[in-house]
C-alpha cells in the first residue's frame, strides 16, 4: 500500500506540482505530533504525505537503492546519518532558508557534527541516550541490593546470573551496543583495535547464556512493556514508551529507564534531505517550521524525546520536561559520548563479532 502510494505520488507529481506542492516525509513511527503536521499544511498550503519506518535498516535500504521519492528523512546520527553523508546520499542544507537554525543548541550540534563536519547536512530533530530498561517491581523483589545506576547490572556476569530468571535482553544493533560495552570496559568506544573488540566480545559472550533474546528495537519495546524481560540494553525513548504502555495496561508491570551514570552513548535523529529529493524547497520550509520553539515543544511533549532547541524547554509539558530520563541531568550529559564512524574495515570486524555473539559462540 505504502509502495503504491509512493508510485502514485511519483506519477502524479508533475500534475500536482501545479495545483499543490507535496512534501514527502519519511520518519520513525510514533515520532511526531499530528497537530504539528496539520498546522504546517494550513500555514503553507504545502500538503504533507507522511510515511513511517520502524528501523534504520528499512530507511537505509530504501535510500541506498536511490530515487526514494522522499523529501525529508530522519536518520539517526550514528550509524545511518554518518553513512548517508559519506555515501553522498544527502543534500547540503541551505541555511539561508532555515532562519530558525539559530535556535539550535550549539553544544549539541557540535556533538552531532562528529558525523557531519560543519553540520552541513542535518539539524537535530530529537535525541536520546542508550541505557537500561528495567522492570523495577521484579528487580526489587529478586535483588533489592543491586545498584540501579549503570551497565554493571547487565554486564557483570554475577549480576546477569542473578537476574537471568526474569529475563535479560540486548537490542540487536552492533553499532548501538558495542560503543557502550567498550566504554564500560574502559576502552575507546570507537576502537577498531582487535584486542579491544575481542575484550568486548568476551564481555558479551560472558552474559550470552543468560540472554532471553537479542530482538530488534520494536520487538524489544514489546517484550519490556509486557513484562517478558527485566533488564534490556535499549534506546531511552523506547524504554520510556514501553513504560507508558505498561502503565496503560495496568498489569502491575513497572518499567524504569537508567542511563549509565558513567556516561551514556548519545544519539541524534537528524532532519535531512535526500540528494535526489523531488521537492527540497518544501523540505527546507518544514525544517525551519519544526525548529520553532513552540512547534518542537509540542513534538517533545507528545513523543517524550528531548529536542535541541533550548528556548522550547519551558513550553514542553511539565511531566516530560521534568523527567530526568527524558532530559538527563547535566552531569550525565557531560560524561556522555557520541560514537564516531568506524571505517569499512572496522565495521566489518564489528559486524562479524556481532554475528558470533548472536549465534552464541
Q: Which residues bind other proteins (CB under 8 A)?
A: 55, 57-58, 60-61, 63-66, 83, 86-89, 167, 173-174, 211-214, 216, 219, 226-228, 275, 344, 347-348, 351-352, 355-356, 358-360
Residue owning grid cell 510514533? 30
Which residue, 211 or 285, is less far from other proteins as judged by CB?
211
Which residue, 47 or 86, is less far from other proteins as judged by CB?
86
Q: Nearest distance from residue 2's CB to other proteins, in Å?
A: 16
Q: Nearest distance from residue 358's CB to other proteins, in Å?
A: 6
Q: Nearest distance from residue 128's CB to other proteins, in Å?
A: 20
Distance CA 83, CA 59 (A): 12
Q: Nearest distance from residue 129's CB to other proteins, in Å?
A: 22
Q: Which helix (H) or strand (E) holds 257?
A: strand 255-258
Contacts (Cβ under 8 Å, ≥6 apart) of 18:
none
Which residue, 113 or 216, is less far from other proteins as judged by CB?
216
Distance CA 180, CA 186 (A): 10
Longest dimension (CA), the chain: 67
**Residue of 277, 334, 349, 317 whose CA lies nearest to 24:** 277
Q: Nearest distance from residue 356's CB to other proteins, in Å?
A: 7
Which residue, 33 or 347, is less far from other proteins as judged by CB?
347
Which residue, 92 or 314, is less far from other proteins as judged by CB?
92
DSSP 132: E
Q: Nearest distance from residue 219's CB to other proteins, in Å?
A: 7
Report yes or no: 350 and 174 within 8 Å, Cβ to Cβ. yes
Taking each continuous run of H as one helix and of E as one strand, the counts in the chain are 17, 9
Which residue, 87 or 331, is less far from other proteins as judged by CB?
87
Q: Nearest distance from residue 150's CB to other proteins, in Å?
A: 24
Q: Nearest distance from residue 342's CB to other proteins, in Å?
A: 12
Chain-centre distance of CA 200, in angstroms? Answer: 22
Q: What are phi and psi of 42, to 5 degrees?
A: -65, -40
Which residue, 41 or 226, is less far from other proteins as judged by CB?
226
Which residue, 116 or 288, is less far from other proteins as judged by CB?
116
DSSP string across 194-260: HHHHHHHHHHHHHHGGGEEE---HHHHHHHHHTTS-SEEEEEHHHHHHHHHHHHHHTSS--EEEE--
Distance CA 14, CA 10 (A): 8
Which residue, 83 or 284, is less far from other proteins as judged by CB?
83
DSSP 289: H
Q: Nearest distance from residue 68's CB to other proteins, in Å?
A: 9
DSSP 81: I
Contacts (Cβ under 8 Å, ≥6 apart) of 360:
205, 208, 209
Rg over alpha carbons for the chain, rounded to the nearest Å, is: 21
Amino acid at each position: 500500500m505504502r509502495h503504491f502510494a509512493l508510485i502514485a505520488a511519483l506519477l502524479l507529481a508533475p500534475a500536482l506540482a501545479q495545483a499543490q506542492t507535496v512534501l514527502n516525509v519519511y520518519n520513525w513511527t510514533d515520532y511526531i505530533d499530528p497537530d504539528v503536521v496539520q498546522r504546517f499544511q494550513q500555514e503553507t498550503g504545502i500538503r504533507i504525505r507522511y510515511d513511517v519506518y520502524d528501523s534504520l535498516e528499512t530507511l537505509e535500504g530504501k535510500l541506498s537503492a536511490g530515487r526514494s521519492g522522499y523529501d525529508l528523512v530522519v536518520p539517526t546520527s550514528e550509524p545511518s546519518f554518518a553513512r548517508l553523508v559519506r555515501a553522498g546520499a544527502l543534500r547540503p542544507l541551505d541555511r539561508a532558508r532555515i532562519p530558525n537554525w539559530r535556535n539550535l543548541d550549539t553544544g549539541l550540534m557540535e556533538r552531532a557534527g562528529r558525523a557531519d563536519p560543519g553540520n552541513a547536512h542535518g539539524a537535530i530533530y530529537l535525541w536520546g541516550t542508550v541505557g537500561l530498561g528495567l522492570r523495577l517491581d521484579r528487580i526489587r523483589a529478586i535483588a533489592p541490593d543491586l545498584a540501579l545506576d549503570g551497565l554493571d547490572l547487565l554486564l557483570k556476569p554475577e549480576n546477569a546470573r542473578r537476574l537471568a530468571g526474569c529475563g535479560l535482553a540486548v537490542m540487536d544493533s552492533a553499532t548501538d551496543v558495542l560503543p557502550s560495552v567498550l566504554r564500560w570496559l574502559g576502552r575507546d568506544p570507537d576502537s577498531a583495535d582487535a584486542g579491544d573488540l575481542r575484550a568486548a566480545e568476551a564481555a558479551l559472550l560472558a552474559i550470552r547464556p543468560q540472554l532471553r533474546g537479542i530482538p530488534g528495537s520494536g520487538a524489544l519495546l514489546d517484550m519490556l512493556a509486557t513484562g517478558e524481560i527485566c533488564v534490556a540494553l535499549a534506546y531511552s525513548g523506547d524504554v520510556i514508551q514501553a513504560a507508558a504502555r505498561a502503565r496503560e495496561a495496568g498489569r502491575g508491570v513497572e518499567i524504569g529507564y537508567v542511563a549509565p551514570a558513567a556516561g551514556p552513548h548519545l544519539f541524534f535523529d537528524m532532519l535531512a534531505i535526500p540528494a535526489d529529493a523531488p521537492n527540497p524547497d518544501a523540505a527546507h520550509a518544514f525544517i525551519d517550521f519544526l525548529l520553532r520553539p513552540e512547534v518542537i515543544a509540542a513534538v517533545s511533549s507528545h513523543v517524550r524525546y528531548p529536542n535541541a532547541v533550548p528556548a522550547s524547554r519551558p513550553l514542553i509539558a511539565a511531566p516530560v520536561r521534568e523527567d530526568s530520563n527524558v532530559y538527563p541531568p547535566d552531569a550525565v550529559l557531560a560524561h556522555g559520548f557520541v560514537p564516531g564512524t568506524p571505517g569499512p574495515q572496522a565495521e566489518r570486524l564489528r559486524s562479524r563479532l556481532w554475528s558470533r555473539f548472536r549465534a552464541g559462540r
